[in-house]
Amino acid sequence: MLPLALALAALTSPARTDVVPSFDTEIVPLLTKAGCNAGACHGKGAGQNGFRLSLRGFAPDQDFKWITREFGARRLDRTKPEESLLLRKATGRTPHEGGRLFGPASREYELLLNWLRAGYPGPDKAAPKVSKLELTPAAKVLKPGEEVQLVATATFADGTTRDVTWLTKFDSNDAAHLEVSPGGKAKALRHGATAVRAMYLTEVAVTVVSIPAARAVDETRYARTNNFVDGHVLAKLKELRVEPSDLCTDAEFIRRLFLDACGVLPTAAEVAAFVADRDPQKRAKLIDAALARPEFDDYWALQLGDLLQNRKERDHDVRGVKGVRQFHDWLRKQVAANRPWDELARDVLTATGSTTESPAVGYYVVTVGEHRHGENSEAPESVAQAFLGTRIGCAKCHNHPLERYTQDDFYHFAAYFSRVKLDRKEAKAGPTVLRVSHPDANQNKNPVGVSQPRTGAFMKAQPLDRSKRDVAPGDDPRTELAKWITDPNNEFFTGAMVNRVWKHYLGVGLVEPVDDLRATNPPTNPALWKALNAEFVGRKFDLRALMRAVLNSRTYQLSSATRAGNETDLRFYSHYYARRLPAEVLLDAICSATDVPERFDGYPLGVRAVQVPDPGSASTFLRLFGRSERVTACACERSGEVSLPHALHLFGGDTLNGKITGSRWLAQRLKDEADDAKVTDEMFLRALARLPTGPERATITKHLATEGRTRAELFGDLFWAVLNSKEFVFNR
């Protein structure tokens, strides 16, 4: 029953025959669409100018209270609803920092006014919740300048559907290619492809739009394939009318493969033998050989170490370098044994015991850390990002702004770690022993769950897909979580690793950022995405088999040289995307070319940077060139950028100049070989996996004829030029 004041206000308002607007399904979406509850406006933590709303309307109960009760309900006028500050600000009749949002003749104005005239009813707990949002058309091909009207349809828990287009918030994933109006009309601007994302309450949906280039193409360019990967890549390129580049040379291929798969340069002898080989299957055979090398095991132990944040705990007295080395050694053994990814993941997710007995416990030592208890730690976010490629951290405080995950979803997920506890037991001798444990079945009969801090509600353990998976009170909840995560039907689990492998070898993920999988961030090639996921599952999560399919594809073996029409392509793999070598690989390449090993404190001379387990190992070079510090599970911690400090360090820093000056290889070759051309050829093969071109040879010959300098000085300058070239620093 309405309070007396509200009842009197309703009597003084003009009679309406309209259906009373719903605060849950109409007013909150309207505030979201208008941007009122965005993070840049009233939706930020402290609100804006004395008025606050929950971000994207994740807490409608609080929103209703703040709108109708805060500061004596000054935002509403009970006797003259049309004079309410809420309406005056939105229509610009009263100064509003957010500007004029809509006019008095608009549908938005009419909705708010009707709600006010109806006595501004609050959230209805019994009303069915929205369960799904669909956009039609789901995909569309447009020419530049063409438009399409999108329609958003919401499905509710009771099975009813409703056209909510006018209450849906639309955004373009790439406004340079496609723009979308507030009403959902999408307009193509330039050739390419992108998606429109739509949000209504907690649900999201996307429409993918392709915009082909207006050019004639040679159809035969799309006919040459090595395997299923190429079929899907070429189909997308054909749709967009973008031509693929030609194949790379054999010399380019062996260098590219060795650096990408093993993190090492091929030797001069390996390059010469491969280029001279006339076997038509030599590339496939070289791929098999590379995947079987111990350097592959070293390199991928490093990759998994980044992913699983293998570092010293913040309190170095608790888990120092020894624990990091134990986990690294365990990871390398898994790679060497070609352990299926799902099995390895389950071992990490359910690890328990001491770091000595179970090195994978180190994952929880780092992610739980000083929090001691898993549900309050970084573990939920880290697990979701590492194993599902999904960023749920923002849902810890509010609903995810770009995905359907709610704050409740976060705490349901966090409940799986509620039994994780770090016990730090002092050994009689040696370092502290760390244990990840959970209560024994005979000691705990309470249900598995945590308390939601905002509502106080008890959140039972539940996966992010909201499926029901009961956990017995005495069981380790992580066991059930691991079953759900590694289920072959869980595309987030398969896709997270597929996307990382694809980005590692092709330079750009099918989804970017590589660890931000969500419905509103679809893959650039959905057909290829599904095919690679099916391949991974069909091969029983065999990482080498997945890599073999990628490496054998013509797509991976395309030249980095572009053709007319594909120069601006950075997302559809019409050519190989050249990129700077990772920090450890670049340092090892310099050491390999010069035959001067780097010295790392605590490790024997000769250990390569890729083999060093601890990201905290002192190295100015590795820190400058973007080694991952492994503080979070985010792939963004490893940097591949190119900047002026990088160039200056290579040009004049101690690392490169010191190794050239002390190069044992160069000194020995100058001593043993009098023919300058032979020394030059071997230098190029060692560093660039090719011989000098005609113009390069002419320039080098002229340089080596310079008077007044020793032969060692002249070749030192040449070596410096080769190792500072883009061709050396980049994989291409």
**Model pLDDT for residues 171-197, shown as the tens digit of each residue:** 999 999 999 999 999 999 999 999 999
**Is 305 in the same domain as 428?**
yes
Query: Bigger pLDDT: 51 or 666?
Result: 666
DSSP class of residue 394?
G
Tokens 């963004």 correspond to what residue? 636
**Is 85 in the same domain as 202?**
no
Residue type, 190: R
* pLDDT computed for residue 420 by the predictor: 87
**Is 467 in the same domain as 514?**
no
pLDDT at 211 over 50: yes
pLDDT at 5 over 60: no
**Is 301 in the same domain as 430?**
yes
SS3 133: strand
How much is the mean pLDDT over the chain?
A: 91
Number of domains in the chain: 5
pLDDT level of residue 160 (50, 70, 90 thresholds): very high
Q: Are 450 and 414 in contact (CB under 8 A)?
A: yes
**Is 531 in the same domain as 414?**
no
Domain span including residue 301: 296-485
Give the Cα-Cα-Cα angle 507, 512, 514 (nearest 5 degrees).
Answer: 75
Query: What are the tens digits of pLDDT across the range 129-156?
Result: 999 999 999 999 999 999 999 999 999 9
- Residue 269: inside a domain: yes
How far apart are alpha carbons 514 and 527 in whole angstroms? Answer: 18
**Is 77 in the same domain as 34?**
yes
**Is 661 in the same domain as 560?**
no
List the structure tokens of 404: 């359907």
pLDDT level of residue 11 (50, 70, 90 thresholds): very low
pLDDT level of residue 357 (50, 70, 90 thresholds): confident
**Is 100 in the same domain as 134?**
no
Average the pLDDT over 704-716 and give the result: 94
User: For residue 34, which of 86, 83, 102 has the smallest C-alpha distance?
Assistant: 102
Instruction: Choose one of 117, 139, 162: the last residue of a domain.
Output: 117
Q: What is the pTM for the complete model shown?
A: 0.90
**DSSP structure string for 62-130:** HHHHHHHTGGGGTT--SS-GGG-HHHHHHTTSS--TT-----TTSHHHHHHHHHHHTT-----TTSPPE
User: For residue 573, which of 139, 245, 259 has the smallest C-alpha distance?
Assistant: 245
400 Cα distance to chain centroid: 16
How far apart are alpha carbons 81 and 73 in whole angstroms? Answer: 12
CATH of the domain at 181: 2.60.40.1080
pLDDT level of residue 500 (50, 70, 90 thresholds): very high
- Residue 354: inside a domain: yes
Give the Cα-Cα-Cα angle 410, 411, 416 (nearest 5 degrees).
Answer: 105
Query: Bigger pLDDT: 628 or 426?
Result: 628
Cα Rg, the chain, nearest whole Å: 30
pLDDT level of residue 403 (50, 70, 90 thresholds): confident
DSSP class of residue 36?
T
- The listed range with the strongest mean pLDDT (96-100, 308-312, 327-331) is 327-331
pLDDT at 427 over 60: no
Query: Bigger pLDDT: 101 or 7?
Result: 101
User: What dihedral do alpha carbons 445, 461, 393, 388 form, nearest 10°?
Assistant: 120
* pLDDT computed for residue 620 by the predictor: 95
Burial (CB count within 10 angstroms: exposed 0-12, middle 13-18, buried 19+), residue 292 = exposed
Average the pLDDT over 244-272 and give the result: 98
* pLDDT computed for residue 441 by the predictor: 53
- Residue 231: inside a domain: no
- Max CA separation in the chain (angstroms): 106
- pLDDT above 70 covers a percentage of the chain that reads 93
- Residue 256: inside a domain: yes
List the structure tokens of 532: 């690679």
* pLDDT computed for residue 16 by the predictor: 42
**Is 344 in the same domain as 261?**
no
How far apart are alpha carbons 200 and 153 in whole angstroms? Answer: 9
Average the pLDDT over 342-361 and give the result: 93
* pLDDT computed for residue 17 by the predictor: 42
- Residue 244: inside a domain: no
How far apart are alpha carbons 286 and 195 in whole angstroms? Answer: 39
* pLDDT computed for residue 562 by the predictor: 96
- Residue 631: inside a domain: no
**Is 422 in the same domain as 497?**
no
- Residue 242: inside a domain: no
User: What dihedral do alpha carbons 331, 333, 335, 341 form, nearest 10°?
Assistant: -60
Tell me how far CA of residue 664 lies from CA of 13, 87, 271, 660, 661, in angstroms.
93, 79, 21, 9, 9
Query: What are the tens digits of pLDDT across the range 641-685?
Result: 999 999 999 999 999 999 999 999 999 999 999 999 999 999 999
**Is 668 in the same domain as 543?**
no
Element (H, E) at 708: none
Query: What are the tens digits of pLDDT across the range 551-561?
Result: 999 999 999 99
SS3 290: helix
pLDDT at 6 over 80: no
* pLDDT computed for residue 475 by the predictor: 85
Give the Cα-Cα-Cα angle 354, 355, 361 (nearest 5 degrees).
Answer: 90
Sequence-ordered list of residues with C-beta below 8 angstroms from that of 257, at least 6 positions apart, any chain: 286, 287, 290, 551
- Residue 245: inside a domain: no
**Is 713 in the same domain as 668?**
yes
User: For residue 501, which of 465, 463, 528, 464 has the smallest C-alpha distance?
Assistant: 528
